[in-house]
C-alpha cells in the first residue's frame, strides 16, 4: 500500500483509508475488518465522535489496543448531543472543542489524536477562536494535526489561509466532481484532501447494475442520466471500482480515499480494485461521460 504526505505535515497516510462509520457494531466482526486493513498496509482510520454517539471511537480504540501507535487515527468534532435527547446540534465553540476532544481521547483510550477535524462549519462560526483552540491543542500534544470536513468554499477560504490545517475531508468522486475547482487552492495552502464518497454509494463498483435498482438518480444525475453514464463507463473501463479509486488518486492534492467496509468481503473488493489502479492511465472517457459541476452554494 503506497502512502502520501498529508499536506506539509510529517504524516504519511495510506492511499486507501478505512472509514469507521461503516464498521459493524459487532466488535468481533469489526476487529476482523480492522485487522485485515492493517495487514494490507492501511494505516489511516477515520472516525468521529458523532458516529454511534461515541461508540465507534470506543470500539476502534479497543480493537487497536497496543497497535495504536502504528495507526494514524482521525476523528471529528462539532456535532454536539445530549444523553437522552434525540438528535444533535452544531457547536464549534472553543470550550466545546476542548471538552469533546478529551471525551474522544478517553473513548479511544489514547493520549493524542493524529488528525482532529472540525465536522462541518459555517461562515458565521468564530474562526479565530476555532483556529486558536486547534493550535493550542496541537501545542499541548493532544493532537498532531488538524483539519476540516467541509466542501463549503466560503468556509475553506476563511479557514485554510488563517490556519495551519493540513487536511480537508470532502465528498469527491467521478459522480461528484465539485471539489475539483478547489484542489489547487487547498494544495497551495499546505493541505491535502482526504476523500469520502469515493465509490458513490457503490454505484462506482462492479455491482453498479444492482445498485442502480435501488436509487432514483444521484446528486444532479437523473435515473436515466445515471444509467447512461454508468453504462458508458462500463463500456470503456473493465473495472469501475478500480476506476473510481484511480480517478481520485490521479489528483496529487488527494492524499487518501476513505472507503468504508461493513464486511471483510467489501474490504477485499476494495483492496483488489486498488491493485489495478496503476493500469488505468487514460481518463478521457470518464471526464467526458461525467459532469464537471461546481459547488454553487456558500461561495
Helix axes 94-108, 55-64, angle to 10 degrees: 40
Question: Which residue shows C-alpha cell 489561509?
Answer: 161
- Report the percent of the chain where pLDDT is more than 70: 99
pLDDT (0 to 100) of residue 210: 95
Identify the burial level of 235 via C-beta atoms within 10 angstroms of its C-beta, where 0-12 means exposed, 13-18 middle and 19 or more buried. Answer: exposed
Mean pLDDT of 1-11: 97
Confidence band (pLDDT; 50, 70, 90) for 79? confident
Express each pLDDT in 124-178 by its tens digit: 999 999 999 999 999 999 999 999 999 999 999 999 999 999 999 999 999 999 9
Count of beta carbons in the 10 Å neighbourhood of residue 231: 13
Let me know if 51 is a catalytic residue: yes
CA distance 58 to 99: 16
Express each pLDDT in 19-49 by its tens digit: 988 888 899 999 999 999 999 999 999 999 8
Mean pLDDT of 191-207: 96
Mean pLDDT of 258-275: 95
Can you list the domains of the chain with their CATH numbers? 11-289 (3.20.20.100)
Q: Does an H or E element contain 126, and which?
A: none
Question: One of 44, 51, 116, 172 is an active-site residue; which one?
Answer: 51
Count of beta carbons in the 10 Å neighbourhood of residue 197: 21
Partners of 173 in the β-ladder: 176
Amino acid at each position: 500500500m503506497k502512502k502520501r504526505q498529508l499536506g506539509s505535515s510529517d504524516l504519511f497516510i495510506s492511499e486507501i483509508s478505512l472509514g469507521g462509520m461503516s464498521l459493524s457494531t459487532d466488535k468481533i466482526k469489526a476487529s476482523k475488518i480492522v485487522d485485515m486493513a492493517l495487514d494490507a498496509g492501511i494505516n489511516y482510520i477515520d472516525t468521529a465522535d458523532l458516529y454511534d454517539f461515541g461508540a465507534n471511537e470506543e470500539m476502534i480504540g479497543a480493537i487497536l489496543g497496543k497497535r495504536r501507535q502504528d495507526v494514524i487515527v482521525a476523528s471529528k468534532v462539532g456535532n454536539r448531543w445530549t444523553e437522552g435527547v434525540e438528535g444533535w446540534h452544531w457547536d464549534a465553540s472553543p470550550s466545546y472543542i476542548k471538552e469533546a476532544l478529551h471525551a474522544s481521547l478517553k473513548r479511544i483510550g489514547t493520549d493524542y489524536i493524529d488528525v482532529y477535524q472540525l465536522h462541518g462549519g459555517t461562515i458565521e462560526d468564530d474562526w479565530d477562536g476555532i483556529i486558536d483552540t486547534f493550535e493550542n491543542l496541537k501545542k499541548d500534544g493532544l493532537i498532531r494535526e488538524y483539519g476540516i470536513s467541509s466542501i463549503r468554499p466560503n468556509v475553506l477560504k476563511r479557514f485554510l489561509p488563517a490556519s495551519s490545517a493540513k487536511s480537508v475531508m470532502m465528498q469527491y468522486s467521478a459522480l461528484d466532481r465539485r471539489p475539483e475547482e478547489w484542489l489547487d487552492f487547498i494544495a497551495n495552502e499546505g493541505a491535502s484532501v482526504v476523500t469520502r464518497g469515493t465509490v458513490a454509494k457503490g454505484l462506482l463498483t462492479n455491482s453498479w447494475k444492482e445498485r442502480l435498482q435501488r436509487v432514483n438518480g444521484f446528486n444532479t444525475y437523473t435515473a436515466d442520466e445515471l444509467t447512461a453514464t454508468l453504462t458508458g463507463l462500463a463500456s470503456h473501463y473493465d473495472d469501475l471500482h478500480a476506476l473510481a479509486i484511480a480517478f481520485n488518486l490521479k489528483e496529487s492534492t488527494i492524499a487518501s480515499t476513505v472507503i468504508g467496509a461493513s464486511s471483510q468481503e467489501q474490504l477485499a473488493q476494495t483492496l483488489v480494485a486498488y491493485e489495478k489502479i496503476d493500469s488505468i492511465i487514460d481518463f478521457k472517457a470518464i471526464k467526458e461521460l461525467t459532469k464537471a459541476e461546481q459547488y454553487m452554494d456558500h461561495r
